[in-house]
């Protein structure tokens, strides 16, 4: 994302120098992603907008303290997350942000166990029927993205936040751990469950647009 931004030291210096063109650049490059992230922590669009504004204010006044230990974007996103958490707590949104450990509903298989053969069958633990290749159909691309967006809205909020940062924003796992202050393991478990859930939704969709894919039996490898 954010092509053509100057490198971090230059950007931080220009922001500290109160250069309006530099501020415009980062605001336009990062605000859409920040707003989307903020929206997962608070209850309304207006709240998310205020979190965005408070964050940028904190960036303007605090950028002189940026030491380059993370990327500038990670540093800004961390301010956003902390601002959004405080705001979310004031709105008494019932999400305990102190814990990012997967909860009881976030354990167990991410693929329906009935997709695999049972212990008395020929190949226990192997696919009954193989997943199908999905069509590389340009005509479906827009629809696919719309389905993903809607399905991500329904994910448990921590999973949604992690998948948004990783797969929509394109952050690395290290960046996500730094932004959210979570462990690599928790990050991975949340991302894994989120991706698996979205894959399942897409699989149902592709099966419905291509009914012949529904019950094709495939041989299992010997």
Partner 1 sequence: MTTMDCDKLVELVTAYLDESLDSETQRRVVDHLALCDGCQAYVAQVRATIRSAGQVEPVPVDSATRDRLMEAFRKHSR
Q: Summarize as ranges the residues that interact with partner 1 (CB under 8 A).
A: 18, 20, 23-24, 27-28, 31-33, 35-36, 39, 49, 52-53, 56-57, 60-61, 109-111, 113, 115-116, 124-127, 130-134, 141, 144-145, 148-149, 152, 163, 167-168, 170, 173, 184, 188, 191-192, 195-196, 198-199, 202-203, 218, 220-221
CB of 89 to partner 1, least distance (A): 22
Shortest reach from residue 15's CB to partner 1, in Å: 9
Secondary structure of 166-186 as H, E, C letters: HHHCCCCHHHHHHHHCCCHHH
Rounded Cα gap, residues 207 and 191, in angstroms: 24
Token pair for 42: 């608070």
| Rounded Cα–Cα distance for residues 204 and 202 (Å) | 5
Q: How far is the CB of 211 from partner 1 (least distance, A)?
A: 18
> Of 87, 23, 75, 94, whose CA–CA distance to 51 is shortest?
87
In whole angstroms, the minimum distance from the beta carbon of 36 to partner 1 comes to 5
Nearer to partner 1, 95 or 140 (CB): 140
Quick one: DSSP state of residue 116? B
């Amino acid at each position: 994302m954010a092509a053509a931004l100057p490198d971090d030291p230059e950007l931080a210096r220009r922001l500290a120098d109160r250069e309006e063109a530099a501020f415009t650049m980062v605001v336009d490059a990062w605000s859409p992603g920040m707003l989307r992230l903020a929206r997962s922590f608070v209850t309304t669009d207006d709240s998310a907008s205020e979190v965005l504004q408070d964050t940028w204010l904190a960036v303007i006044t605090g950028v002189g303290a940026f030491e380059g230990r993370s990327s500038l974007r990670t540093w800004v996103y961390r301010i956003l997350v902390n601002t959004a958490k405080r705001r979310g707590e004031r709105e008494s949104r019932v999400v305990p942000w102190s814990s990012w450990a997967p909860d009881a509903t976030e354990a167990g298989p991410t693929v329906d166990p009935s997709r695999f053969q049972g212990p008395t069958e020929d190949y226990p633990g192997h696919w009954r029927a193989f997943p199908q290749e999905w069509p590389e159909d340009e005509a479906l691309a827009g629809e696919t993205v719309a389905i993903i967006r809607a399905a991500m809205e329904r994910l448990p909020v921590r999973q949604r936040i992690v998948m948004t940062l990783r797969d929509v924003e394109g952050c690395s796992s290290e960046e996500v751990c730094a932004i959210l202050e979570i462990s690599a393991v928790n990050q991975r478990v949340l991302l894994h469950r989120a991706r698996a859930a979205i894959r399942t939704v897409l699989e149902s969709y592709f099966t419905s647009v291509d009914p012949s894919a529904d019950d094709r039996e495939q041989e299992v490898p010997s």
